[in-house]
Amino acid sequence: MQAESIRFPVILFVLFLVFETNAQDLEPRSLSAVPTGGNFAIASYGYSSGNILVDNTLPIEDLNARLNSIVLAYARSFKLFNRLAKFDVIAPYSFGHFEGVVSDIDSTAYRSGLGDPLLRLSMVLVGARPMKLGEFMKTPQKKFKLGTTVRLRIPLGQYDPAKLINLGANRWAVKLGVAGSYTFIKRLTLETHLNFWLFTENKEFFNGNRIKQKPLMSAQMHLTWVFKPGVWVAVSYGRSAFGETVVNGIEKDNLQNSTRMGAAFAYKLSKHNAIKIAVTSGLSTRYGADFTSVLLVYQFMWFDNK
């Protein structure tokens, strides 16, 4: 019974999603173990300002955007190939103003609509085996974990080839990632991620052009401190590289090179409810997104009755 009272509230926060609008999302605690049969309904509101683009291949200079995002998501934990796996689906809706310079002309735009939905499958390969709730609460957590993830971005968001700025990218994208974490002491965990984004070509780009992006790599590190069950804080650091764009077969000198920092705080409201607030900001950017975001997330969790 003591193990239940100590460990059960922790699982309320292990599947919070930091919803990305670009490749440099910062997402701590993605390797935290959960029991199988868990269901997570998530709603979030985010506000971002600065050089933020849904499609970071766009040739826009001095962009200053103010973007609001409302995201609904569902996630589930289960057993796959005798490993602990998680699946989530994300549906974003965004609206905001964009100001920038296109072909030496000052331009402004307002956009409102659905963004590209995201699907993700992740799996813990080492350090957490699949367990039902009862067994999970009685089993001590291992210090080291190693996992992998695959995320798919589906081009179903708002897109008009007559407009340069859209909320959808009109191209498929796949993220392949690997992550590892180690708990040094009971409350302190270090987590690292290495991700690769692969993109298809947008054949209906602005003004009848074709555009594609070379593979984009991102790496991130998170340090998390658990104050008590259900309450934790994390600081994050991330960096992206490569990802040069090609327009009509001509390579552009715009290798993505950006660095971001972030912090997140999570708090358990009750047995089934939790909230989290997260802030991220760019430190340096050569090409790519350079913006500040504030995210508020609410999560409701339940387990299968059986």
Query: What are the tens digits of pLDDT across the range 57-105?
Result: 566 666 778 889 999 999 999 999 999 999 999 999 999 988 876 655 5
Task: Return the pLDDT at 85.
Answer: 96
- SS3 call for 272: coil
Q: How confident is the model at residue 22 (pLDDT cuts 50, 70, 90)?
A: very low
- The predicted model scores a pTM of 0.85
Q: Which residues contact 37 (CB under 8 A, 6 or more apart)?
A: 77, 78, 132, 133, 303, 304, 306
Using CA of residue 52, residue 54, residue 56, residue 58, what is the dihedral sign? negative
Task: Return the pLDDT at 102.
Answer: 61
Q: How confident is the model at residue 171 (pLDDT cuts 50, 70, 90)?
A: very high
CATH number, domain with residue 208:
2.40.128.130
Q: Specify the residue for token string 């962009």.
A: 63
Higher-scoring residue by pLDDT: 50, 140: 140
> Is the per-residue pLDDT at 182 higher than 80?
yes
Would you say 215 and 256 are in contact if contact means Cβ atoms under 8 Å apart?
Answer: no
Q: How confident is the model at residue 17 (pLDDT cuts 50, 70, 90)?
A: very low
Domain of 246 in residue numbering reads as 2-303
Amino acid at residue number 131: M
Domain count of the fold of the chain: 1
* Tens-digit pLDDT profile for residues 259-280: 889 999 999 999 899 999 999 9
Degrees to nearest 5, angle at CA 64 with 63 and 66: 135
> Is the per-residue pLDDT at 9 higher than 50?
no
Cα–Cα nearest to 200, from 165, 172, 166: 172
Task: Return the pLDDT at 60.
Answer: 64
> Is the per-residue pLDDT at 15 higher than 80?
no
**Could you give the CA distance from residue 94 to residue 181 in angstroms, rounded to a whole number?**
33
Q: What is the mean pLDDT of residues 169-190?
A: 93
